[in-house]
């Protein structure tokens, strides 16, 4: 059973048994810095620069906006600390897929890997790649989602110049990752460092504006008496028909608390997804040196630093711009960033509005450059990590056989990388990847819960297995994660069915596929 001995990757072990000294195997070419760069680089995409606008429109309160990010931080850090035990116990290629397989059974591992390939990983790669194309258009106006090279029908299906830019960077970064993990890790190290510096620059600009304009109207609007009062006086209760809009007082503190808890759960669609992909480092476990130490450490350090930066960025946004629009129909001037506020930022580009407030038109270009760096690094990290899951699935006979091979020169899962590349590029052309990503947010959270459940089960079924690191706060914190995440899932099922049921359907479509792969795997064993 995997997990009983935290040793080399399965491939390396198999090769030693077979005596094939020249057989390609994963090379442990990444240290703590590179592993942490994968955690941080995969987390930081374009979300932190955009999603606070939509969250602000939903919450309507500065206190609740910060509270929402604190909830995200708590969930993510508890999840990372819990995964650290599994990662140190089973430092093998495939990460979360392996944990689900060993803890709950092969079908759960497959359903996760299936959804990951179908849309979670590839859809995110496509979405972030197209975001790169969009912001490239700031410097080259001909790069646009509406500038079609090949347009199919009247919808968004086809090849636009923005989609083409996305495909170019996906293919380019896939090629560099086929050269070996050290090449991919080197790129990740550089671009993660650059995007962290970009976030620090946003925070620095915010602090500069704060000290220069301590009496600014926007600052007073967010951190005056409205900071707390709006959380309890400008909020409407939720119902399946009404959704959320406008202020309304409801009798009873318990009802207000319930409404706030529902609201915080609903906006996790944005903040949790912006903080997602921290688990990608576990996919590359077979290529991390001293994984028993470096995997748990990279998860803790990477998630902790990124979430501190995210909360600081939101405080900066609130320090520079009012949360809600400060205009009426007679005085509204669209060019006024102060009047638009965070909730009304053009195209939800909150960070751009902050830099524009500081530097004028040049601020928008500075922010666009920062997001280009961020998205480029994010695509690289997700390409590098995702291919290792499909490789592990193939080795179990649950994916195409060719995907389970390593290149003899680079020791990289080249076929897996190119298959991932092809599907991600196709999603770039489909025009539907954005919707698909929305659909799987619920499913992603469900798989996180299941993996924490696997942690509890493995403690019971494999009590004597080596555990170089044990989950911090076990069993209280992992149990708290399950409770909090289950609450969010329940709220999303009721109030955001458009985000939940399609995601469940995508996952369930994997059941017949699993049956087919398993039948073929059994035939292969009989044939041997």
For 33-69, the pLDDT digits (tens) are: 999 999 999 999 888 988 999 898 888 888 899 999 9
How far apart (Å, rounded) are the C-alpha atoms in residues 12 and 283? 16
Task: For residue 27, give the nearest of 376, 425, 485, 388 by alpha carbon.
Answer: 388
Residue 333 CB-density burial (10 A; 0-12 exposed, 13-18 middle, 19+ buried)? exposed
Phi, psi of 154 (to 5 degrees): -105, 0
Identify the pLDDT of residue 525. Answer: 65
How far apart (Å, rounded) are the C-alpha atoms in residues 514 and 447? 17
3-state per-residue secondary structure call for 341-375: CCCCCHHHCHHHHHHHHHHCHHHHHHHHHHHHHHH
Identify the pLDDT of residue 233. Answer: 55
Q: Tokens 């003899």 identify what position?
A: 408
Other beta carbons within 10 angstroms of residue 81's beta carbon come to 23
* Parts of the chain with a pLDDT under 70: 1-22, 213-219, 225-226, 228-253, 325-339, 524-528
Identify the pLDDT of residue 26. Answer: 81
The structure tokens listed for 447 are: 């798989």
In contact, 375 and 135? CB cutoff 8 Å: yes
Q: Beta strand 148-151 with 158-160: parallel, antiparallel or unpaired?
A: antiparallel
How far apart (Å, rounded) are the C-alpha atoms in residues 400 and 527? 17
DSSP H stretches of helix in 20-61? 32-43, 51-59
How far apart (Å, rounded) are the C-alpha atoms in residues 387 and 515? 22
Q: What is the set of domains in the chain, with CATH numbers?
A: 49-527 (1.20.1740.10)
SS3 category, 159: strand
Identify the pLDDT of residue 244. Answer: 44
Q: Which long-range contacts (CB under 8 A, 24 or more apart) does 16-22 make?
A: 22/408
**Residue 320 CA neighbour count, 13 Å, CB half:** 28
Phi, psi of 436 (to 5 degrees): -60, -40
The structure tokens listed for 326 are: 């400060």
Residue 244 to residues 34, 254, 269, 321, Cα–Cα distance (Å): 43, 18, 15, 23
The structure tokens listed for 141 are: 């106006």
How far apart (Å, rounded) are the C-alpha atoms in residues 172 and 194? 19
pTM of structure: 0.86
In contact, 260 and 235? CB cutoff 8 Å: yes
> Interior CA angle at 112 toward 305 and 514, to 5°?
165
In contact, 418 and 115? CB cutoff 8 Å: no
In contact, 21 and 30? CB cutoff 8 Å: no
In sequence order, what are the residues at sequence separation of 6 or more whose Cβ sits closer than 8 angstroms to the Cβ of residue 3? Answer: 86, 89, 90, 98, 102, 458, 462, 465
Tally DSSP H helices, then E strands, for the chain. Answer: 23, 2
């Amino acid at each position: 059973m995997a997990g009983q001995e935290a040793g080399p990757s399965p491939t390396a072990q198999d090769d030693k048994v077979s005596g094939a000294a020249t057989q390609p195997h994963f090379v442990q070419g990444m240290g703590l810095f590179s592993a942490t760069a994968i955690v941080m680089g995969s987390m930081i995409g374009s979300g932190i620069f955009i999603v606070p606008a939509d969250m602000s429109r939903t919450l309507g309160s500065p206190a609740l906006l910060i509270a929402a990010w604190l909830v995200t931080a708590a969930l993510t850090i508890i999840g990372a600390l819990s995964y650290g035990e599994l990662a140190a116990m089973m430092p093998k290629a495939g990460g979360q897929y392996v944990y689900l397989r060993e803890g709950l059974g092969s079908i759960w591992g497959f359903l996760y890997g299936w959804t990951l390939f179908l849309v979670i990983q590839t859809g995110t790669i496509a979405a972030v790649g197209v975001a790169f194309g969009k912001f490239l258009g700031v410097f080259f106006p001909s790069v646009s989602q509406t500038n079609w090279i090949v347009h199919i029908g009247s919808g968004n299906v086809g090849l636009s110049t923005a989609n083409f830019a996305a495909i170019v960077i996906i293919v380019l970064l896939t090629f560099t990752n086929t050269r070996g993990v050290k090449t991919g890790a080197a790129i990740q190290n550089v671009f993660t460092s650059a995007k962290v510096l970009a976030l620090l620059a946003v925070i620095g600009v915010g602090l500069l504006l704060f000290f220069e304009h301590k009496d600014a109207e926007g600052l007073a609007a967010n951190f005056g008496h409205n900071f707390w009062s709006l959380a309890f006086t400008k909020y409407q209760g939720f119902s399946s028909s009404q959704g959320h809009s406008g202020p309304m007082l409801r009798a009873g503190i318990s009802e207000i608390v319930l409404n706030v808890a529902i609201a915080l759960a609903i906006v996790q669609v944005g903040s949790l997804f912006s903080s997602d992909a921290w688990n990608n480092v576990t996919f590359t476990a077979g290529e991390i040196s001293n994984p028993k130490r470096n995997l748990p450490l990279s998860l803790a350090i990477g998630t902790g630093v990124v979430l501190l930066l995210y909360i600081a960025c939101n405080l900066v946004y609130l320090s520079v711009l009012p949360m809600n629009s400060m205009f009426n129909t007679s005085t509204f001037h669209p060019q006024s960033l102060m009047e638009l506020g965070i909730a009304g930022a053009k195209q939800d580009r909150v960070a751009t509005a902050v830099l524009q407030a500081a530097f004028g038109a040049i601020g928008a270009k500075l922010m666009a450059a920062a997001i280009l760096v961020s998205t480029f690094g994010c695509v690289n990290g997700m390409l590098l990590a995702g291919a290792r899951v499909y490789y592990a699935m193939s080795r179990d006979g649950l994916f195409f056989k060719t995907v389970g091979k390593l290149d003899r020169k680079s020791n990289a899962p080249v076929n897996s990388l190119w298959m991932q590349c092809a599907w991600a590029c196709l999603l770039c052309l489909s025009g539907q990847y954005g919707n698909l990503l929305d659909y799987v947010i619920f499913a992603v959270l469900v798989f996180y819960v299941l993996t924490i459940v696997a942690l509890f089960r493995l403690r019971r079924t494999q009590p004597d297995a080596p555990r170089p690191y044990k989950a911090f706060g076990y069993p209280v914190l992992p149990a708290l994660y399950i409770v909090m995440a289950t609450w969010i899932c329940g709220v999303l099922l009721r109030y955001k069915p458009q985000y939940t049921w399609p995601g469940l359907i995508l996952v369930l479509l994997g059941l017949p596929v699993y049956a087919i792969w398993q039948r073929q795997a059994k035939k292969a064993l009989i044939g041997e």
